[in-house]
Structure 1
Amino acid sequence: MDDGSGKSYAVQWSTNLKQVIKAHGYTLQEVAHAVSIGYRTLTEYCAGRSRPSVNCVHHIAAFLGCSPSDLVFVPLDSLRESDRSEMDQTRRDMLRLLGMASSALVFPDHIDIERVQSFFARSTHLDETTYQELATINRGFWTAYQETPQKLLILKDIQTHLSHLTRLLHTASSVGERNHLSLLSSELAQLTGEIFFDSNLYTDAAHCYTFAAQAAKAAQAWDIWACALARHAFLPLFEQEYEQARIILQGASVLASRGTAPAARQWVAALMAQAYAGLGALDPCLQAFERAEEGQHLQGASNGTWLRFQGDRVPEEKGACFVLLKQPARALPLLEQALTQTTSTVRRRGLVLRDLALASLQQQHVEHACLYAEQLLGLVQEGHSGLLLKALHIIRAALKPYQQQASVKRFERHFREQQHANIFTK
């Protein structure tokens, strides 16, 4: 590994890796299995005789729940996005203002806000009553996220609350208090990551998910730790980097197997199926779905916050996989079923519409694809989701070979009209 000046960091890597693995209580065999590298390869890294790729560094760090910089010096600043324009800064400031104004609508009436604020100011002992109120505030943020079309509106309030929680982690007076604060912090960091992910700010989302994994790891909370890695895997899945996603999800699967929430294991399995589908591996994909479908009969498997996987999501997940595998005849019935059932979030409905459009095109049903694309366009106008806008562009690219057909021309005209009206927000 090189910093650009020719200086090697192999020795620092080997020293840090051995120390970090030992500190986290894992064996080399467990780490090698979790990140899909050979045991001998990992021992070579530990001995300093071989240097891992940057992707390997991030996979190991994600599994351990630490920062990549804890393992080896990596110029992480190169991963950050370029500076925003002055106009973008103005937009963010306005969103922050609106987010602050929305806070009065987020919390239930019975929460003693003054008591919570006083606790933050004094940094005193975290009693059970205050902990429950902080947990209720977290749930309020998740509810606001699900009900607010423009997710960025609540971001500033979430970040302010998260900054209070992370500051208190430094002054926690007991292991129990530290674990409580770690869980709350992990939960909110995952929510912040979802907001960034929905806005196509993938680097920012990755930082949030890494911190969420670190916080969950600190509390030895296997289920929420597994969910942090599962969300991290969304990033390579949507970038079509399926092998990277598979490696991250393999680590998540190891963690979920130690937890107590069946829904966490089933969610990880459903995501693993997507990774296998992207790799063109039908049999492993179907085997992963067998594990995911074990949760279809569960009631109340979702906790409404960091774990929201329900059995009714399996048809849409399986349909998406058959699209990746280019089996539209198997995909369409599942996706049509999902479309009639998916009313919980705009994002889920939008992704189902994307997959329906792509499956229709695989069968050369261009007009059907355009109808689904028109519906997705309506959702983008309604919610200003960067993720769904990206899905819309994927459909537009797939429609290019048919651009002379009347239905495609009509859809493109509607898209340009909305674009010129400045409806879309990236």
Structure 2
Amino acid sequence: MEKTVAGKRTRLSEWRRAAGYSQERLAEHLGVDRSTVARWESGGTVPVPFARPRLAAALGVSSSELNAVLGDSVPSGLQPAADSLALGRLAETDLPRRDLLRLLSLAGTVIAGAELVSDRGEFVATGPLDASSVAELAIFNQQLWQIFAMATAKQAVYPLVTQQLVQLVDRLKRTHRAATRQALCELTCDLFQLAGEVFFDNDQYNSAAHCYTLAAQAAREAGSHDMWACALTRHAFISVYEQQFADTVPMLASAADLAAKGDCALSTRYWVSAVQSEAAAGLGDLTACERALEQAEQVRGLGRDSQTGGWLRFDGSRLPEQRGTCYTLLGKPDLAERSLQQALSTSVSLRRRGSVLVDLATVGVMRRDVEQTVTYATAAMDLTEQSGSGVIARKLSGLNQQLASHRHDPQLLRLTEDISARLSVERSPL
């Protein structure tokens, strides 16, 4: 029987905390009010059927397990994940959740293991990995990034990423010459950043953060300032999307310091500036935002070789939508719309286009333009269904919160209900 205290569903709240959610964040993720989540946990009501698949995905349990948690019995051995970095529903992939957690733990151990050796010359090859083998691993990493960029549903690349990670970690467990180990650490950093991107797109921020942390550790071991800076920037972007802008400032400052020590021919420092602009906008600092955007614009003076195509892909093409997002956060609808329409006129991915559409809908809210809000929000919802992107879904959830004060309008009331219903549809699990 489920443990209860004064009618409370203590197991449901335990699963929520284990998945890294507060009541407020879980409510935002599901597109419901915080009081709704509180009533679920207090035993006052139960989630309606259409909300259950998304709730199960957020908690990292199957539908049957969720039904048991909400009901009177719990299957033997069903416990909330002890690690707050639980990786969601991974049982349906090539690697079960426990195996992947073990892989991540092992990766962190083997990456850090070299720090215990004072003389890097001690890494003498036993069964050496030749240069051609390392090159083949690098080519496959590059191909995985290309698949990720082209895929409509980003999670489709996930099984291939985990298989490649298994190979890289297995090779890192062996002893190699220092140069070979450095190359393997760089490849591992590269791939953990890609794994983080997959989790990020699937709205699994805790898992993404864990991957970015391991990527930063691998970059540090490899002595790559640029890769290290990019891993930190991706990690900071999680707080940007959660609108915890103050939390990003120290991490982005560290990323900027590392990028300044890196290769000046790469676009790393300009990408850091672009993300700093959004953090400044979220904090309401127009001057700092525009200064950072101006710094990011300097990327256009670099040549074709300023990006790797993998862990570093910033070439300035995203700056119009970046400006639009910043001006939206700053509450400047005219400036925002100008940049967003410019971004919409170019060829962008489904995820980026969906993000721009949500920002344009937000501009409509600022102007109290119901038709603009409904038109762009509806288009964004359609793209969410096509791509399964948690990035667009998260922005739509934020838009829904802004619409809460406009529910006196029948069209906007229907829009909020439509968004909530769409967000409750389960995305393809990892």
* Structure 1 CA distance for aligned equivalents of residues 93 and 157 of structure 2: 8
* Structure 2 CA distance for aligned equivalents of residues 82 and 414 of structure 1: 20
Structure 2 residue ranges without an equivalent (≥5): 1-56, 66-87, 96-124
The alignment's C-alpha RMSD in Å is: 2.5
Q: Within 5 A, what are the aligned runs for 1:228-267?
A: 228-260=231-263, 261-267=265-271
Alignment-derived partner of residue 211 in structure 1: 214
Alignment-derived partner of residue 394 in structure 1: 398
* Secondary structure at the counterpart of residue 200 of structure 1: coil
Contact between 1:187 and 1:306, CA under 8 Å: does it hold in 2? Answer: yes
TM-superposed deviation, 1:92: 3.6
* Structure 1 CA distance for aligned equivalents of residues 131 and 331 of structure 2: 52
Aligned residue among 79, 91, 94 for 2:92 = 94
Residues 88 and 183 of structure 1, relative CA distance in 2, 3 Å threshold: farther
Alignment-derived partner of residue 332 in structure 2: 327
Residues 424 and 161 of structure 1, relative CA distance in 2, 3 Å threshold: closer
Q: Read off the aligned partner of 1:251 and give its amino acid letter.
A: S
TM-superposed deviation, 1:212: 0.3
Task: Note the alpha carbon deviations across 1:353-401, whole angstroms, 9 max, x for none.
Answer: 1211112211222210111101110111101112211111111222222
Residue 178 (structure 2) pairs with residue 180 (structure 1):
no
Contact between 2:403 and 2:416, CA under 8 Å: does it hold in 1? Answer: no
TM-superposed deviation, 1:167: 2.5
Residue 85 (structure 2) pairs with residue 85 (structure 1):
no
* Structure 1 CA distance for aligned equivalents of residues 360 and 421 of structure 2: 23
Aligned residue among 191, 195, 204 for 2:194 = 191
Residue 126 (structure 2) pairs with residue 128 (structure 1):
no
* Secondary structure at the counterpart of residue 312 of structure 1: coil
Give the number of equivalent residue pairs: 320
Contact between 2:239 and 2:248, CA under 8 Å: does it hold in 1? Answer: yes
* Structure 2 CA distance for aligned equivalents of residues 222 and 273 of structure 1: 21
TM-superposed deviation, 1:289: 1.2
> Which structure's relative contact order is higher, taking Cα pairs within 8 Å and 6+ residues apart?
2
* Secondary structure at the counterpart of residue 317 of structure 2: helix
Q: Read off the aligned partner of 1:310 and give its amino acid letter.
A: D
Residues 264 and 230 of structure 1, relative CA distance in 2, 3 Å threshold: same
Residues 416 and 330 of structure 1, relative CA distance in 2, 3 Å threshold: closer
* Structure 2 CA distance for aligned equivalents of residues 383 and 82 of structure 1: 18
Residues 243 and 162 of structure 1, relative CA distance in 2, 3 Å threshold: same
Contact between 2:396 and 2:419, CA under 8 Å: does it hold in 1? Answer: no
Q: Read off the aligned partner of 2:250 and give its amino acid letter.
A: I
Alignment-derived partner of residue 224 in structure 1: 227
* Secondary structure at the counterpart of residue 316 of structure 1: helix
Alignment-derived partner of residue 294 in structure 1: 298
Aligned residue among 300, 303, 312 for 1:307 = 312
* Secondary structure at the counterpart of residue 318 of structure 2: helix
* Structure 2 CA distance for aligned equivalents of residues 355 and 182 of structure 1: 38
Q: Read off the aligned partner of 1:202 and give its amino acid letter.
A: Y
Moved more, 265-274 or 390-399: 390-399
Residue 142 (structure 2) pairs with residue 139 (structure 1):
yes
TM-superposed deviation, 1:83: 6.3
* Structure 2 CA distance for aligned equivalents of residues 398 and 332 of structure 1: 18
* Secondary structure at the counterpart of residue 267 of structure 2: helix
Task: Note the alpha carbon deviations across 1:233-277, whole angstroms, 9 max, x for none.
Answer: 111111111111111000000000011144111000010111111
* Structure 2 CA distance for aligned equivalents of residues 412 and 272 of structure 1: 31
Aligned residue among 151, 154, 177 for 1:151 = 154
TM-score where L is the length of structure 1 = 0.70
* Structure 2 CA distance for aligned equivalents of residues 168 and 189 of structure 1: 15
Alignment-derived partner of residue 110 in structure 1: none
* Structure 2 CA distance for aligned equivalents of residues 423 and 244 of structure 1: 30
Q: Identity across aligned pairs (percent)?
A: 34
Residues 409 and 308 of structure 1, relative CA distance in 2, 3 Å threshold: same
Q: Read off the aligned partner of 1:152 and give its amino acid letter.
A: Q
Contact between 2:358 and 2:399, CA under 8 Å: does it hold in 1? Answer: yes
Aligned residue among 322, 327, 339 for 1:317 = 322
Q: Read off the aligned partner of 1:84 and give its amino acid letter.
A: G
Residues 324 and 82 of structure 1, relative CA distance in 2, 3 Å threshold: closer
Aligned residue among 334, 351, 355 for 1:351 = 355
Alignment-derived partner of residue 173 in structure 2: 170
* Structure 2 CA distance for aligned equivalents of residues 373 and 424 of structure 1: 18
Q: Read off the aligned partner of 1:322 and give its amino acid letter.
A: Y
* Structure 2 CA distance for aligned equivalents of residues 215 and 413 of structure 1: 45
* Structure 1 CA distance for aligned equivalents of residues 197 and 64 of structure 2: 20
* Structure 2 CA distance for aligned equivalents of residues 187 and 91 of structure 1: 24
* Secondary structure at the counterpart of residue 309 of structure 2: coil
Alignment-derived partner of residue 12 in structure 2: none
Task: Note the alpha carbon deviations across 1:96-129, whole angstroms, 9 max, x for none.
Answer: 49xxxxxxxxxxxxxxxxxxxxxxxx98322221
TM-score where L is the length of structure 2 = 0.69
TM-superposed deviation, 1:331: 1.0
Aligned residue among 345, 366, 369 for 2:370 = 366
Contact between 2:355 and 2:391, CA under 8 Å: does it hold in 1? Answer: no
Moved more, 268-277 or 395-404: 395-404
Residue 144 (structure 2) pairs with residue 161 (structure 1):
no
* Secondary structure at the counterpart of residue 350 of structure 1: helix
* Structure 2 CA distance for aligned equivalents of residues 247 and 419 of structure 1: 33
Contact between 1:296 and 1:314, CA under 8 Å: does it hold in 2? Answer: no
TM-superposed deviation, 1:170: 2.7
